[in-house]
Amino acid sequence: MNGTEPVPADEFRHLVLIGMMGAGKSSVGRRLALRLGRHFVDTDRLVEQRAGKTVGEIFAVDGEAAFRAVEAQAVRDALDSDVWAVIAFGGGAVLDPANRDLAREAALVVWLQAPVRELARRVSASLRRSTGARPLLTSGRPPEAVLDRMARDREESYRIAAHLVVDTAGRSPSQVATAVLAAIGWEVPAR
């Protein structure tokens, strides 16, 4: 993506999914892990295990900077494993250049893209269920406006981090998983 390195072709590496909240990183990642016969790892869950609190609690009690510090550790833990996994990064993980560099070294990094309107539609169901996982969307401002601003601010970081981009607009998680597999060209083990 950044034009300086070739896309890694072999599959002896992790597969990392990046992108905005609502891009489908977790739902697509779980399906990809099943199809590739790999473990699925979600850095938000690693953060919660490390901290012993939910993402929402960490933001509320300790603040975003504390969350980002634990997230950086979770990224290192996930990428350190030599059992190749499918790893969904939290939406803001690649804002940290160190996380980006580690991911590009140890993984094939795929950016799941979606129009902001679709991101907002997808996150709204989870926001109704609970406010815990996405504290950045609970300021009271309409999620679509927050996501729009955030997507603009983050676009460059996603672009620099990604080896490949997959468009998720109008596609179900299964369809996106199929598109990712086609884009990366890795062999899918027979089941």
Q: Note the residues at the interface with ligand S3P (CB under 6 A).
A: 21, 25, 44, 55, 90-92, 134-136
Q: Which is nearer to ligand S3P, 26 or 178 (CB)?
A: 26
Nearer to ligand S3P, 25 or 100 (CB): 25
Nearer to ligand S3P, 117 or 149 (CB): 149
- Minimum CB separation of residue 12 from ligand S3P in Å reads 26
CA distances for 125 relative to 22, 32, 92, 98, angstroms: 10, 23, 20, 32
Question: Which distant-in-sequence residues (6+ apart) come within 8 Å of 148 by Cβ?
Answer: 116
Residues in a beta bridge with 108? 15
Residues 6 or more apart whose Cβ sits within 8 Å of residue 56: 130, 131, 132, 133, 134, 135
Helices within the chain (DSSP H only): 25-36, 43-51, 55-61, 64-80, 97-106, 116-129, 143-161, 173-184
Smallest distance, ligand S3P to C-beta of residue 191, A:
27
Three-class secondary structure of residue 149 per DSSP = helix
Q: Which residues contact 2 (CB under 8 A, 6 or more apart)?
A: 159, 160
CB of 52 to ligand S3P, least distance (A): 17
Q: At closest approach, how far in Å is the CB of 105 from ligand S3P?
A: 22
Nearer to ligand S3P, 44 or 186 (CB): 44
92/171 with CB nearer ligand S3P: 92
Tell me the closest approach of the beta carbon of residue 139 to ligand S3P, in angstroms: 12
